[in-house]
Every structure is written in C-alpha cells, then in structure tokens.
Chains A and B, each alone.
Chain A
Amino acid sequence: GAVVSQHPSWVICKSGTSVKIECRSLDFQATTMFWYRQFPKQSLMLMATSNEGSKATYEQGVEKDKFLINHASLTLSTLTVTSAHPEDSSFYICSARDLTGTEQFFGPGTRLTVL
C-alpha cells in the first residue's frame, strides 16, 4: 500500500518557538494533503487542505498565520506551528490523497509538546 511518512515523530519545544512538521508521500504522488489535529480522547479535526502549488484551504477557526502550510511538490507538505504555546500541544497527523481521489493514506503522526 501507499506509504506516508512524517517527521519528526515527536517534538518538545519551548513556548514562543516555531516547529516545522514534514509530511511525505514515499511511493505515490499526492496532489492533495490534509493536516489534522487530535486532542486526547477526541476525534480527528481537519485543520487544512493543501493542494500542490496552491495556497492551503483552512477550516473555520484555524489561524492561517499561526499554522503555515506549504505544499511545494507532489510528495512533500510542511506544517509550521509558529510561536507555539502550550495549548498547541497535540497530535498532528497528515494524510495524502492519490490521483484516484478516494482513499487517504495517513502518516504516523507527530506528537507536539509545548512547554
């Protein structure tokens, strides 16, 4: 099956710093990538949808200036959490959709802890 990787797997940072998370589709081209956030014991919350070469579409309530998304190639999307605060601590998961446009393949997730 299709493989999506995320890096780093976990990160601990100080409040006020920025953190970049990478999402890569390893064996297929992903025209669309999705970024989710999941708080403990809650379901996935879609943050934004990113299409290669264009600006990301953010869900209501998600600050685009705080969560910067770049999808520069068909295999890489990045999420940068700028000026992170403790309330940004969460499990961030990316997924990628292939050209057939149906199934989404999930990365393993990145656990962010902001001190």
Chain B
Amino acid sequence: GQNIDQPTEMTATEGAIVQINCTYQTSGFNGLFWYQQHAGEAPTFLSYNVLDGLEEKGRFSSFLSRSKGYSYLLLKELQMKDSASYLCAVMDSNYQLIWGAGTKLIIKP
C-alpha cells in the first residue's frame, strides 16, 4: 500500500529552527510537495522537490532523498505566524497526490 508518515505535532520557539520529517512509500514517484495549512483555511503551496537535494526558498527549505524515501521541511527564524499544519504529499505514478496526515507546528514565544 501507499503510505506517508510525518510526526503528528511539534513544538518550537519563536526565532528558532525546526525540521519536519516525512517518509514515504508510494507506487511510483513524480515529486514531493509541502503545503502549509492554517486552521480553517485551504492548504497553500510551499515547495516541490522531484530531484535529490536541498531547495531553499527564503526562510523555508525542503530536502529530498529518493533512495531513502525521505524528505524534510526546514523552517528558520520561526515566527508566530508559522504556527500551522504542514502537509507532505507525494505524487505517484498516476499523478495522484498521496497525502500525509499533517504535522501541527506550535510556536511558543
């Protein structure tokens, strides 16, 4: 079966760095997405990785290792507004998105 695993909840301090991990097992691979979702809102796109390595975009970076079925989202200089759920999703061989359950990130002052 297809499976995406990520931690349920994480807590971090304002100004610090946090890494959210995601491991996956899917039938085929056409890229991995990270989305941010605030409570009561739809997800918003953060990053897309299809090749191994690190993609940096401002305070957010995303890493992919296809051989290990592993990705992480790195958030630097955390701000209170970063409190949200972070969803990992993998596009399988049918170009369908397989979603993780999401990681709720709590930022404390």
B97 touches A104 (CB 8 A): yes
Q: Please judge, given known A-B contacts A43-B100, A44-B99, A49-B96, whether A102 and B42 are in contact too, CB under 8 Å.
A: no
Number of A-B contacts (CB under 8 A): 42
Within 8 A of B (CB), among A66-99: 91, 93, 97
A106 touches B95 (CB 8 A): no
Q: In this assembly, does A61 line the interface, its C-beta being within 8 Å of a C-beta of chain B?
A: no
Number of interface residues of B (CB under 8 A): 20
B95 touches A103 (CB 8 A): no
Number of interface residues of A (CB under 8 A): 20
B contact residues around A54 at 8 Å (CB): none
Q: Which of A42, A91, A105, A109 contacts B45 (CB 8 A)?
A: A105
Closest to A6 in B: B42
Q: Please judge, given known A-B contacts A42-B101, A43-B87, A43-B99, whether A102 and B31 are in contact too, CB under 8 Å.
A: yes
Q: In this assembly, does B44 line the interface, its C-beta being within 8 Å of a C-beta of chain A?
A: yes
Q: In this assembly, does A108 line the interface, its C-beta being within 8 Å of a C-beta of chain B?
A: yes
B contact residues around A34 at 8 Å (CB): 97
| Interface 1/0 per residue, A24-55 and B, CB below 8 Å | 00000000001000000011101001000000
B contact residues around A105 at 8 Å (CB): 45
> Which residue numbers of A lie inside 8 Å of B, CB to CB?
1, 34, 42-44, 46, 49, 91, 93, 97, 101-109, 111
- A-B pairs with beta carbons under 8 Å apart, 10 shown: A34-B97, A43-B87, A44-B43, A44-B87, A46-B97, A91-B40, A97-B95, A101-B95, A102-B48, A103-B33
